[in-house]
Amino acid sequence: MSFHFLRFARVRFRWVWIGAFLLSATVPVASLAQDRATQADEIYRQGITSLQQGDLAAARASFEKVVAIQPRSPEAHNSLGWVLLVQKQYDPAIAQFGAALDLRPDLFQAHMNMSTAYLAKGDPKRAARSAREAVRFAPTESEAYRTLARALDASGDTAGAIKQMRKGLDLDPGRADLHDELGTLIVRQVSAASSPASGAAPLMEEKIGGVSGPKSAAGSTPADSSPNASVEPATKEDGASAAPALTTKDAEKEYAEALRLKPEFAPANLHLGVLQLQQKNLEEAVPHLEKAAQLDPTNPQAHFYLGKALRDNGDSDGAIRELQAAVKLDPGLIDAQSALGLVEQRKGNVDEALAAFRIVVKAQPDSADGHNNLGLALLQTGDADNAIKEFQAALRLRPQDTGYQTNLGVAYLQKTDFDAASEQFETALKAVPQDPTLHYDLGLALKLKDKLPEATAEFRKAEQIDPQQADVHYTLGVTLWQQGDFPAAAEELQTTVRVKPDYAEAYYTLGTVLKQQGKLQDAAAALREAIRLQPDFAGAHTTLAAVLRQLGDNAGATTEAKAGIEIGKEKTNQQAALFATNSGKRLLNAGDLEGAISQFRSAITATPNYAPAHYQLGLALLRKGEKDEAAKEFRRAAELDPKLAPSSH
């Protein structure tokens, strides 16, 4: 009777059947009738076939029958234990591996599987003990050293894990998976050495038995994740160096070797891509992450990190696509939900951002950043009351965070509760008195309370701390103008455009101040620059018309006045289209198809070339079953904005 060993490949149960480690063993059958032996052999083959087809239940049933027929077969117990392990029934699996080892103590495959079972159960000490037995009975088997490396890694002995993984590679240097896992171990070892000093989060959060490799803290890059980050070499008692320092370059070499051996190996593409992403080497990171997602499209981590790389590379649409794929595959991947919310928010898709942040807060109610991000998104919708609640929740979780306190103050500003806003800014300033943004925000609150001298003082403090803050100079200029100090106002506005030469609003306000000073030529020059920077600036056209009229250029004045009126009308239509489209999206999400379609058509009536309205109308018509009409809208949306391609529908 032939039995075959099937090994369990990954602690997190992304199991694979690896033919290179099949074990053929002829089981003595002298004590069995030949027909029962033949029956057991046939049932065992049925179990193998079921495994190949992914039918674990049938495989388990077959192996259970074999164990009943031949209870003294260690291979049968080991195979049944393997299936139980894949089914996450750890204690029954351990019992089967134990039975196999009672019958045959040198069955190293059972020792390896026992180690994997203990590791999955959260007992790395017993896992290491079993793995050492596997190494003892199979000192020339690379998989035994890999199993021991995983157990040591889980118990926190990354250096020991590296040593064992290297032993495995000495025996079998052609294994791409071992090179990949060694790279992952090296990255985490380097990170662990640098994190205590730098305060950075570790590069590695998951052990090598998991499905992912390097991983940064949510949205952040460790301070010491450069190619030169290294682990100080251990020293012997006589002071001699025991080994050269490890760096992330060593990890890159291992990943590269894995890909040389097996270019289509998804884990190595993922891990190398993540490492390069953390080192801000986007040119190299993106292709590897794209390859990882292509090779393993069901791996949410691949889509997550690709989304982050595309985001950092300025491709917001691509980032949203990949992050959406990640959370669709794994709704519990909260880092991806948070990243998706941030990209949607920056893209102006506030409803989508709110949905993502609400998922984050529901899943992690103790996430201060989650509440803060939700609060900021609510502010964008004008919902100051609920934004205040979220910022207060964030502050309860992290009371000393002046950033949250600043955001709470801004929410009170939006609510026009200027006293409460001032209180928040003043409290935060006690902790960080040299924060220019807080002085600026306090100045705004005081300005809105009509305390212009006090506001001016705060703006002056802000510009002294950071003279390169264009908004500070601009708002100070406006405040001085409101106080009637035209020369000082003009000076601040001129400073504004020196700091930020593309600040159209500052040129417009400067032109207005110069007009009031009677400096008409200078005013006209400033207003023309505002129009050059922002051709659809209706107010600049209208004010320039008045200046030109005073200069005697009636024809020029007429042209500018007409442009101002036309732009103003167009702006009104665009605002109506945006409002109607957002309203339609909310109705669509609520399931009101007819109401949504009506709003999208209203938006198109107001602004026929508003691409988002055509796109959303296409979605609504598609959901209604009107495929031809939907296709027309998708094509029109793509004509107006190529990023809205109909091919995805």
pLDDT of residue 103: 96
Task: Extract the tokens encoding 122.
Answer: 């959260």
In whole angstroms, what is the distance from residue 174 CA to residue 146 CA? 14
Is 415 among the domain residues?
A: no
Of 94, 113, 137, the position where a domain reaches its end is: 137
In whole angstroms, what is the distance from residue 14 CA to residue 267 CA? 12
Is 315 among the domain residues?
A: no
My answer on whether 125 and 28 are in the same domain is: yes
In whole angstroms, what is the distance from residue 110 CA to residue 144 CA? 11
In whole angstroms, what is the distance from residue 325 CA to residue 298 CA? 9
Domain that holds residue 88: 1-137
My answer on whether 476 and 510 are in the same domain is: yes
Backbone angles phi, psi at 401, to 5 degrees: -80, 105
Is 107 among the domain residues?
A: yes
Task: Extract the tokens encoding 365.
Answer: 């109610």
In whole angstroms, what is the distance from residue 167 CA to residue 97 CA? 25
My answer on whether 526 and 600 are in the same domain is: no
My answer on whether 609 and 642 are in the same domain is: yes
For 411, how many CA atoms within 13 A lie in the half-sphere containing its CB? 26
Of 137, 154, 185, the position where a domain reaches its end is: 137
Residue type for 411, please?
A
Q: Quickly tell me which residue has 């007819």 as its tokens.
A: 594
Which stretches of the chain drop beneath a pLDDT of 50?
1-32, 196-206, 210-241, 647-649
In this structure, which long-range contacts are made by residues 586-589, counting pairs with CB atoms below 8 Å and at least 24 apart in sequence?
586/351, 588/616, 588/619, 588/620, 588/623, 589/351
My answer on whether 517 and 627 are in the same domain is: no
My answer on whether 578 and 547 are in the same domain is: no
Is 155 among the domain residues?
A: no
The answer to whether residues 292 and 268 touch, using CB atoms and an 8 Å cutoff, is: no
Task: Extract the tokens encoding 342.
Answer: 């941030």
My answer on whether 487 and 616 are in the same domain is: no
For residue range 223-243, list pLDDT tens digits in order: 233 333 333 333 344 444 456
My answer on whether 126 and 11 are in the same domain is: yes
Query: Could you give the C-alpha distances from 260 to 129, 180, 265, in angstroms and in order?
Result: 34, 11, 10
Total length of the chain: 649
pLDDT of residue 645: 61
In whole angstroms, what is the distance from residue 519 CA to residue 258 CA? 71
Is 20 among the domain residues?
A: yes
My answer on whether 583 and 539 are in the same domain is: no
Kind of pairing between the strands at 2-4 and 24-26: antiparallel
Is 447 among the domain residues?
A: no
Query: Could you give the C-alpha distances from 545 to 118, 516, 535, 558, 567, in angstroms and in order?
Result: 81, 14, 14, 7, 14
Tell me, what CATH number does 494's domain have? Answer: 1.25.40.10
Residue type for 227, please?
P
What is the torsion angle, in degrees rounded to the nearest 10, for the CA atoms of residue 445, residue 449, residue 454 and residue 456? Answer: 70
My answer on whether 483 and 583 are in the same domain is: no
State how many domains the chain has. 3
Is 60 among the domain residues?
A: yes
In whole angstroms, what is the distance from residue 194 CA to residue 420 CA? 42
My answer on whether 121 and 40 are in the same domain is: yes
DSSP collapsed to 3 states, 495-539: HHHHHCCCCHHHHHHHHHHHHHCCCHHHHHHHHHHHHHHCCCCHH
pLDDT of residue 627: 87
Is 148 among the domain residues?
A: no
The answer to whether residues 544 and 563 touch, using CB atoms and an 8 Å cutoff, is: no
pLDDT of residue 222: 28
My answer on whether 625 and 497 are in the same domain is: no
Of 137, 168, 199, the position where a domain reaches its end is: 137
